Chains A and B, each alone.
Chain A
Amino acid sequence: MKIVVCIKQVPDTTEIKINPVTGTLIRDGVPSIMNPDDKGALEMALRLKDQYGAHVTVITMGPPQADLILREAFAMGADRAILLTDRRFAGADTLATSNALAGALKTMDFDIVFAGRQAIDGDTAQVGPEMAEHLGLPQVSYVIDLNVKNENTVIVKKETEDGYQMLEADTPCVLTVLASANKARYMSVAGIVNAYNREVEIWSADSIDVDESKLGLKGSPTKVQKSFAKGLKQAGEVFEVDAEEAVGIIVSKLKEKFII
């Protein structure tokens, strides 16, 4: 079984703070991490490696610094890592990103492509399904569990708003996974010691199977017109009192506001 996992390096948005005076984002010192849903996807792939000896390739598109998450993937147990990096990829929206990834995948052999459902910097959840379309492969998104039925079929559990669905998909297919699907493993110490002794393959736009007009800014239908920070509302009163008194305050406030 051959698996490819698409991962992305993202700023840890939980560490982003808003400057209370200017209302702008403070991005300095925000660490870069492997996107949480992608880590869930990688964990799902690594479990297939544990169970069936699957060969796991990770691929990311990004600047040279994105090498870090590929090393992390090695240290978690990935077998092969590819960094798609080229100025021609820059400025890509989800469609152009999905074209680049699909272009790379077209040159590879695989049974399952995993991706995270969405990245925490953009929260679009679009790249996975768009990539599946370019590849002409079936997709299931919001995957929280997976079982291999036979050589050509997987059974997946898809989370929905009010429960879940069980779906059967022919392979090869594209699955987008939620971080909550599993608890991703930590890098192992031995894996870390070896991570930088291994080769990350660097691919450019010339290495992949895609028309260059579909890449980067040129290949992106959507543009950011403007962006602005979202202000916080004003704080209300805060009381530091004992439990009895607190209950009294809450009840009288709710009455005052006609909520009860």
Chain B
Amino acid sequence: MDKSAYKHVYVFVEQRDGVIQPVAFELLGKARDLADALGEKVVALFPGYQIANSCQTLIEHGADEVICADNAQLKDYLTEQYVQVITQVIEEYKPSILLLGATTIGRDLGPRLAARITTGLTADCTRLEISEDRELWSTRPAFGGNLMATIVNSTHRPQMSTVRPGVMQKREADPTRNGEIINFEPKLDESKFKVRLLETVKEDKGKVDITEAKILISGGRGVGCKENFEKLEQLAGVLDAEVSTSRAMVDAGIMPHDRQVGQTGKTVRPNLYFALGISGAIQHLAGMEESDFIVAINKDKFAPIFQVSDLGIVGDVNKIVPLLTERLAQELKK
């Protein structure tokens, strides 16, 4: 393979209902670093429908070029439709690097795409860098977050990685940046469309995504039951925080999966993280240990959570939480 034919750092810009997802801006920020290290361009690959107005903001956030594929067939994400258009872009433009967000869309699209164009893909990366020999080094956690592995693809192009949301830093928008917008007309083969979207339902989990919350009140096995989670909700109400949980409570059907912090849930880094009745299994720690300040309350004084907490309390969460809620309510009124 003639690797020199492949150039520039491409970012798949994920939109839902026309709204560009935060991870796309994070990827543009990182792509900028990588492209600068290579002396190449950042290209935003933007499929969707009636999205032309959003191209400029991608440039302001770091793209040098935007390849905009505006087509009614691309309104909602469907695997085959998106794979066809991106494959055509790759074949025509030959990117050196293609980054996708490790979202439910990116992790569905990435591997299908990698298999179609026969290249390597590194999943759910938390660090990207350019090596001395100009290869992309993608670092990711493995073994339940116990191990970090750096993966390279030196034989195939493009080098593809999906990147964990919330990890890379987006850049502040710079309205003075200029870039080129290219309208791309995909040639779609509809005979291959075998999956139809019937309905998209946003569950009113009534709340902010836990990855966006500044304060998280996270409850685990020690909280025990649904009724006790109400107490956590009350504390969250006082602190304007969100309630999250550990895998045990999701497996037990007490909390929904979208509230789960950890290796198989979400990675969070709030300013304040309450670990309430969470023992601190390694998978959980993987998702929250980078929080700025961690308060842990657990009955078991030997719980591993106390090894990562900034403040630990040995005690019964179900007794302490109501008192704490009451006290904080008073404090914040002052």
Contacts and interface: CB of A to CB of B under 8 A. Distances in A.
Interface stretch (B45-53, B179-187, B224-232, B326-334): B326-334
A250 B151 contact: no
Nearest to B110: A126
Interface stretch (A41-49, A55-63, A80-88, A127-135): A127-135
A251 to B, nearest CB: 6
A233 B308 contact: yes
B156 A251 contact: no
Contacts of B197: 165-167
Nearest to B157: A221
Contacts of B314: 238-241
Contact of A221 (B120, B145, B257): B120
Contacts of A221: 118-120, 153, 155-156
A173 B107 contact: no
B143 A167 contact: no
B223 to A, nearest CB: 15
A105 to B, nearest CB: 14
Interface string B112-136: 1011101111111000000000000
Nearest to A99: B115
B198 A167 contact: yes
A249 B147 CA distance: 35
B267 to A, nearest CB: 12
Contacts of B250: 180
B194 A170 contact: yes
A180 B259 CA distance: 13
Interface residues of A, number: 85
A159 B79 CA distance: 15
A161 B137 contact: no
B177 interface: no
B146 A224 contact: no
A167 B196 contact: yes
Contacts of A167: 195-198
B316 interface: yes
Contacts of A257: 293
B289 A168 contact: no
Contacts of A18: 146, 282
A123 B141 contact: yes
Given A128-B111, A235-B306, A247-B320, A166 B198 contact: yes
Contact of A232 (B111, B143, B195, B285): B285
B112 A132 contact: yes
A93 B146 CA distance: 19
Interface stretch (B24-32, B35-43, B202-210): B202-210
A253 B303 CA distance: 21
Contact of B123 (A125, A163, A247): A125
A179 to B, nearest CB: 8
B143 A238 contact: no
A224 B150 contact: yes
19 contacts: A13-B143, A95-B115, A125-B124, A126-B110, A133-B115, A137-B194, A140-B195, A169-B195, A170-B195, A180-B251, A222-B151, A223-B154, A236-B309, A240-B313, A246-B315, A250-B313, A250-B324, A251-B328, A259-B215
Given A140-B195, A230-B148, A259-B293, 17 more contacts: A94-B123, A123-B123, A123-B142, A124-B111, A130-B115, A133-B115, A141-B107, A163-B203, A167-B196, A168-B196, A221-B119, A223-B152, A227-B147, A235-B309, A238-B313, A239-B314, A254-B293
